[in-house]
A and B are shown apart, each in its own frame.
Chain A
Amino acid sequence: MKFKDYYETFGLPRGATQDEIKRAYRKLARKYHPDVSKAADAEARFKELGEAYAVLKDPEKRAAYDAMGSQWKAGQDFQPPPGWDEGFEFSGRGADYGMDQSDFFEALFGRQSGSGRQAGMPARGRDHHARVMIDLEDAYRGAQRAISLRVPELDAQGHVVLRERRLDVGIPRGIRAGQHLRLAGQGEPSLGEGPAGDLYLEIGFNAHPRFRADGRDVYLDLPLAPWEAALGCSLTLPTPDGSLQLTVPAGSAAGRQLRLKGKGIPGDPPGDLYAVLGIALPPAVSASEQAAYRAMAKAFDFNARPSMRGETS
């Protein structure tokens, strides 16, 4: 297990006041919340912030953490010294959004339990949340993903221990980014007699070099040579589900979108696939290439800037 420096997470010295910690947490959390931030590592950063804040905002936990001494460095191999938590009582809640906490946090503060549970309710296991990244192609065809979860269980002595659990999940065809899969009974087991909670998986798409998904519609850029755009052409278009033959009509302008109905993410109704046309300009390097451009200039009575007529020559 590696030591985690919760002060370093916030860029604060160990003597920081509670107000400074709160301010630093809020500033960074606003920046890295996965629903707000576009940064690739936002989710991991946000998780770390939540965990660090759960410890430092709680005076008891912070005191216990501080009492381990300042000689530890982040990333250093670490085991909690025996009796390190003597005299401290942890009653506050953790960074409890149903996400995994680090081994380090679990070893020190154990599983935070009891949040949101009301007296008299059957002790149903809690719902668990995780995020799964898939490729756009998986949404077209359906897929299977192995995910690993850490679930609390009672060992023979009645202690709560974390166990790694692997789960093969069927990703249904037609799922879209941002949607959730609910797997009934696959959340945290009840520590008593109640039923297990549910597992919610939020689906995200890995960035694709060619396609962009927007809901159930999918977009791709389709560059054309000037003569292909002007005269029309037929070409082979790649789609996430194999390629197909596309006819580009004559007189296609840059920015025009050709819609391929029903070729987006499958469903009822299925999405559409849009080819966003662009014009790629061939460079005029050789003498014959330059001659071709000059011939074009001569053949066309064409003003590229009609709106500036009279102002430019």
Chain B
Amino acid sequence: MSNADSQPVRGVIVEEEIQLTLVELSQACRAPEAHVIAWVYEGVLEPVGEAPQDWRFTGSALRRAKLALWLSRDLEINPPGVALALDLLDDIAALQARLERFGAR
């Protein structure tokens, strides 16, 4: 497979333009579907839809799922712990953004 170097490849912005199914999300973050399902039931990820096959994840679930995979695989944190860690990381990110807004670095 080769790409014409003159023609740039266009992508879609995951967070704005697409929704992911359970299969797509687990492929994209390389986590087994069972993990993703466990995270949903723990509130780590919040798809719309009732049954797992109907779930649709927003693009921002991708970053959370990647982080959740690392926390659970390498640090052996269970789903409730993953949920807690992600909530705390969100809080820290919000505080850091607030600090930076006022120029403190």
User: CA of A199 to CA of B14 in the docked complex: distance in angstroms?
Assistant: 11
Instruction: Determine if B50 is an interface residue (Cβ-Cβ < 8 Å).
Output: no
Please report the number of residue pairs spanning A and B whose Cβ atoms sit closer than 8 angstroms.
Answer: 110
Number of residues in A with C-beta < 8 Å to the partner?
A: 53
Closest to B64 in A: A35
Instruction: Determine if B75 is an interface residue (Cβ-Cβ < 8 Å).
Output: yes
Instruction: Determine if A141 is an interface residue (Cβ-Cβ < 8 Å).
Output: no
User: CA of A170 to CA of B9 in the docked complex: distance in angstroms?
Assistant: 6
Q: Is the CB of B59 within 8 A of A97?
A: no
Number of residues in B with C-beta < 8 Å to the partner?
A: 37
Within 8 Å CB of A197, what residues of B?
27
Within 8 Å CB of A180, what residues of B?
13-15, 59, 62-63
Q: Is the CB of A181 within 8 A of B97?
A: no
CB-CB under 8 A for A182 and B11, given A35-B67, A115-B30: yes
Q: Is the CB of B15 within 8 A of A179?
A: yes
CB < 8 Å neighbour of A26 from B26, B31, B75, B96: B75
Instruction: Determine if B53 is an interface residue (Cβ-Cβ < 8 Å).
Output: no
Q: Is the CB of B62 within 8 A of A214?
A: no
Q: Is the CB of B30 within 8 A of A201?
A: no
**Beta-carbon contacts of B7-18 to A below 8 Å, as 1s and 0s?**
111111111101
Within 8 Å CB of B59, what residues of A?
179-180
Task: Please give the residue numbers on chain A whose beta carbons come within 8 Å of chain B beta carbons, in ascending order.
Answer: 25-26, 29-30, 33, 35-36, 38, 50, 53, 96-98, 115-116, 124, 126-127, 129, 144, 165-170, 172, 174-175, 178-184, 186, 189, 196-202, 212, 214-215, 219, 221, 255, 274, 276
In the complex, 9 of the A-B residue pairs with CB atoms within 8 angstroms, ordered by the A residue number, are: A35-B67, A36-B89, A97-B70, A168-B5, A168-B6, A179-B16, A182-B12, A197-B27, A212-B100
